Amino acid sequence: MAKWAQERKIHTKYNVGYFENAGLGGVARTEILKGDTMVKVPLSQLITLSGVREKLPFKEWPGILEYEPLLFWILLESSNPESEFKPYLDSYPTDFSTHPFFWGDDVWPYCQGTGLHEITLMYRNAVKQSFDRLSETIAEKYPNLFPPGYFTIEKYSWAFVIVLSRTWSISLEGQTQRDIAFAPIAEFLNHDYTAGSGSVVGDYFMVNATRDYAVGDQVFDSYGPKSNFELLSVYGFLLPDNPIKAMSLHFSFKENNLVHSIVEPLLRNQDPKYQVIVIRENHIPVELLRAFRLSVMEFSELDHVNKVLAGKGITLKNELRAYRAAIKAVSSVLDLFPSTEEEDLALGQSGTLTFNQQNALYLRIGERRIAQNVVMVIARLWENILLEGQLPGEVLVD
């Protein structure tokens, strides 16, 4: 692997090692100082979605998954003993049993209420549909692409998790849209939120150090400010001490409501992703309150819609209705949890759970705490309005 990287002018200050419960990661080969470039991959060595699309001999894809060409490419190159990428692809783990995509039915009860099972089923269904369509449209038309029996749903699922957990979204010069890319060797670094993120600088993809590392230390990059739900559902791990304490709620307007039909396009224009609202522990849920201020608006209040879009309260009555609706929505999430925190903590300390069950339970404990905290924050906001006689950013007008 080291020789393969050297031939491609991929420069690193670390070797690849194995870490318990974390898999492969980077080990400092030499002293690394804050600001040093830890890995530098020429852009010519990135394996991008756009590049793979151009190289593969077929152009039509079912389009069920955006990155189908990358999945197909991984299986093509992995099945070819003469592939120039064989040393690189052989370094991929073959066991993803700790990733929710491969969890068994014995795990799901422990994360009931978090939505993890639902999003995993969505992934699985999309992968199955993609595989079936590719089998019909490409694999059958090109029967000599793979060794007999190689193109299977099991291998296709493995390739999916590889792409899901090991690619970056990058911007390359001359492209109008962001691309999806593998950055060989760089992708072996494990996650630390305080570490540097990979980025394109000139003709290279780089990761710089945000602190000093001694020889033998594990070195990290950052996957971004990811919550434990995001880390577990995408990468297959979570962090007990994760500083990003956040969860996502799903919001929608009523189709047959006249006021909603007026305000929904305005909110969508300002925030195309408004239907997924992120709430954070000990943070004012600005997006959540904005959505519910709009959803409880009366026709007579539409003159103030721009204020609401700007995150401001408009009347005491609207604010009360919005706070009540927001608390009700978050409380409905809490109602999905089948147990109390005390019960979950006792279960977690029982010593009877598998590694996956422990992760599922830890996720549920964290999500419950976030939801409970946000209910408390909204209640405190209402208390402040009553005590101060003032809406957020505005003098009380009603």
Q: Which of 202, 235, 268 is the last residue of a domain?
A: 235
Q: Is 342 exposed, middle or buried (0-12, 13-18, 19+ CB in 10 A)?
A: exposed
**How do strand 218-221 and strand 190-191 relate by DSSP bridges?**
parallel
* Residue found by looking up tokens 């003469």 in the block: 82
Q: Which of 169, 203, 235 is the last residue of a domain?
A: 235
Average pLDDT, the chain: 91
**Whether residues 179 and 290 fall in one domain:** no
Does residue 240 lie within any of the structural domains?
A: no
What pLDDT, in 10s, does the model give residues 224-233?
A: 999 999 999 9
**Whether residues 113 and 178 fall in one domain:** yes
Per-residue pLDDT for 396 more than 70? no
Residues in Cβ contact with 294 at an 8 Å cutoff, skipping those fewer than 6 apart: 253, 260, 263, 267, 305, 308, 309
**Whether residues 216 and 339 fall in one domain:** no
**Whether residues 186 and 49 fall in one domain:** yes
- pLDDT band (50, 70, 90) for residue 398: very low
CATH number at residue 382: 3.90.1420.10
Copy the structure tokens of residue 374: 């946000």
Range of the domain at 331: 246-395
DSSP string, 198-217: PEEETTEEEEE-SS-B-TT-
Per-residue pLDDT for 395 more than 60? no
**Whether residues 95 and 133 fall in one domain:** yes
- Please compute the mean of the pLDDT values over residues 269-280 and round it to a whole number: 95
Does residue 202 lie within any of the structural domains?
A: yes
**Whether residues 50 and 194 fall in one domain:** yes
Report the number of distinct structural domains present in the chain. Answer: 2
Does residue 241 lie within any of the structural domains?
A: no
Q: Structure pTM? A: 0.90
**Whether residues 274 and 304 fall in one domain:** yes
**Whether residues 294 and 317 fall in one domain:** yes
**Whether residues 34 and 138 fall in one domain:** yes
- Please compute the mean of the pLDDT values over residues 221-242 and round it to a whole number: 94
Q: Which of 211, 235, 259 is the last residue of a domain?
A: 235
Per-residue pLDDT for 394 more than 60? no
- pLDDT score of 91: 86
